[in-house]
Amino acid sequence: MHVRAVNMAVSSFLTSRGFRASCPSPQGHSRKSLMPKLQFKPLAYAAGLGWRGKNNLLIHPVFGPRVVIGVILTDALVEAPSRPIPEPLCGDCDICLHVCPVGALRPDGTFDRFRCYYRNRWLPDPVASSACVSAPTAQNTSASRSS
């Protein structure tokens, strides 16, 4: 099931119980800064769903960067997450820096969101964002095996 369908189902459930619920879109960013109005990754991080990787994506402890984040804003009382916020497990891994086809990821940890957003202007063949999720899952990293 697509994340939008899940969001709508949960939102409908909440509203049927008398709560207000809204499913903000991850789209609708500022053209000047390319920053979204509501950033989903920091919310997912605060909920303990993963850490921010060197590829600027949320890294889930099991699925790595291959996750889609859905957000529902509601006035329903929700329990705080019981899981601790995971420590970054990227360690010395820098696969994402080497596979980024436009060089949007830099070794110093900075991220050029314009280079990423306009990636197909700079490449001879259009590229999907699949290169961005090439990092291994956290289960397969040496950092997770040593802990």
What is this structure's pTM?
0.73
Angle at 91 between CA 103 and CA 81, to 5 degrees: 100
Instruction: Measure CA of the first residue to CA of the last residue in the chain; give whole Å.
Output: 34
| Enclosing H/E stretch for 52 | strand 51-52
Length of the chain in terms of residues written:
147
CB atoms inside a 10 Å sphere around CB 146? 8
Residue spans of the chain under pLDDT 50: 138-139, 141-147
Q: How far apart are CA 85 and CA 57, in angstroms?
A: 15
Query: What is the spatial distance between Cα 116 and Cα 104, in angstroms, rounded to a whole number?
Result: 6
Q: Do 86 and 141 meet the contact criterion of CB atoms below 8 Å apart?
A: no
Report pLDDT for 82: 79
The domain limits of the chain are 3-146
Residue 142, pLDDT score: 42
Rounded-to-integer distance, Cα 46 and Cα 102, Å: 30
Q: What pLDDT score does 38 carry?
A: 85
